[in-house]
């Protein structure tokens, strides 16, 4: 096991988690040794897209969140089960999920990707 393996499996304390959330994941909450986030969507099709996006990111990271799914929302809960608590892996995956799910291409002046039209029928996720 190398130094990076130690860092990935070291348990993060409650106070460390609170500080990290405030600094880099303000929409996430720490409770019961998990990072939590609820993404509100525009409906079932959008919910499925969010689930698939999170599934892809989690599988490629070899780290698997608990998902609670409803018609217009997806709750994500992260903890490192084999370490018995919150680790850097949870924060790294939460940051990547937040980055991808909340990406708004139309707000990036440098990008040629414009995003979905600003009409209700094209809404995908409720950005906060």
Q: Is the pLDDT of residue 2 over 50?
A: no
Give domain status of residue 48, yes or no: yes
Averaged over 8-35, what is the pLDDT?
A: 91
Number of structural domains the chain divides into:
1
Global pTM reads 0.88
Full domain range(s) for residue 22: 3-104+113-122
Whether residue 127 is contained in a domain is answered as no
Is the pLDDT at 50 greater than 70? The verdict is yes
| Angstrom distance (rounded) from CA 15 to CA 49 | 34
* Res. 1 pLDDT band, cuts 50 70 90: very low
User: Once rounded to an integer, what is the mean pLDDT over residues 38-67?
Assistant: 96
Give me the pLDDT at residue 4, please.
53
* Residue 114 pLDDT grade (very low, low, confident, very high; cuts 50, 70, 90): confident
Query: Rounded to an integer, what distance in angstroms lies between the CA atom of residue 123 and that of residue 62?
Result: 30
Record the tokens describing residue 95, joined without a space. 């940051």
Q: How many CB atoms lie within 10 A of CB 71?
A: 9
CATH number for the domain spanning 59: value is 3.30.1360.20
84 within a domain of the structure (yes/no) = yes
Taking the C-alpha atoms of residue 68 and residue 75, their distance in angstroms, rounded to an integer, is 5
Q: Is residue 128 part of a domain?
A: no
């Amino acid at each position: 096991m190398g130094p990076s393996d130690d860092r990935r499996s070291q348990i993060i304390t409650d106070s460390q988690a609170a500080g990290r959330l405030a600094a880099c994941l303000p929409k996430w909450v720490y409770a019961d040794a998990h990072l939590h986030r609820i993404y509100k969507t525009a409906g079932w099709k959008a919910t499925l897209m969010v689930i698939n996006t999170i599934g892809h990111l989690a599988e490629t990271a070899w780290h698997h969140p608990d998902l609670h799914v409803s018609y217009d929302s997806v709750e994500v809960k992260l903890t490192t089960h084999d370490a018995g608590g919150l680790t850097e892996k949870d924060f790294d995956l939460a940051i990547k999920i937040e980055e991808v799910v909340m990406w708004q291409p139309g707000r990036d002046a440098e990008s040629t990707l414009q995003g979905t039209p600003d009409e209700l029928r094209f809404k995908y996720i409720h950005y906060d």
